[in-house]
Amino acid sequence: MRNRIVQLIPENLRPQATLAVSSFVLGVIFLGSWLTAARRHLLHPSYVSADVLVLFFLGAGCILSSLCLVYAMIEQSLTTDRGGEDEDADSAIEILRKQYATGAVTDEEFKRRLNTLLQSEDTDQREQAESPAFDDLVNSPANADAPSTAELNMDRSQ
């Protein structure tokens, strides 16, 4: 059963997962000790001693920290799964460089693949540059002769 659970957690997140589970278990132990010690005083909290309050805050802190770790792991796994287009291009070039360094790719093959990756990157950048920006549309010469909003409002008020 442990092997199945370990397979569900990515290898880079296993130390964080171990820390989150350990922190949660420690928090449950502290809160259990707090409940045992404070059982008599739950109806009258003014009679609770400082050591009982310390147990409560340690338990709550451990459980909250484990929840924060789980949230951080989920966010990290989601951003890793999503990835960015730029990250994909960079990682493709890095993978190609590693293959070239290990000798899995010849000089000619490396140059050909690198040119293909760089050309696809240039094409993406050109497409983004060719799309007109909002400021360009607003400040275009076609709109230069058109009356501004302030001028239209003045005309209406008169």
Give the residue among 27, 53, 54 at the shortest CA–CA distance from 42. Answer: 53
**CA triple 54-15-67, angle to 5 deg:** 45
The distance from CA 154 to its chain's CA centroid, rounded to whole angstroms, is 49
Amino acid at 120: S
The distance from CA 36 to its chain's CA centroid, rounded to whole angstroms, is 40
Quick one: tokens of 109?
């093959």
Q: Do 96 and 105 touch, CB atoms closer than 8 A? A: yes
Q: How confident is the prediction along the chain (158 residues), in pLDDT tens digits per residue?
A: 666 766 667 777 788 888 888 999 999 999 988 888 877 666 666 666 778 888 889 999 999 999 998 888 888 877 765 555 455 555 788 888 888 888 888 889 889 988 888 888 777 666 666 665 555 555 555 555 555 555 655 666 55
Q: What is the rounded CA–CA span in Å between residue 158 and residue 145?
A: 21
Q: Do 44 and 59 touch, CB atoms closer than 8 A? A: no
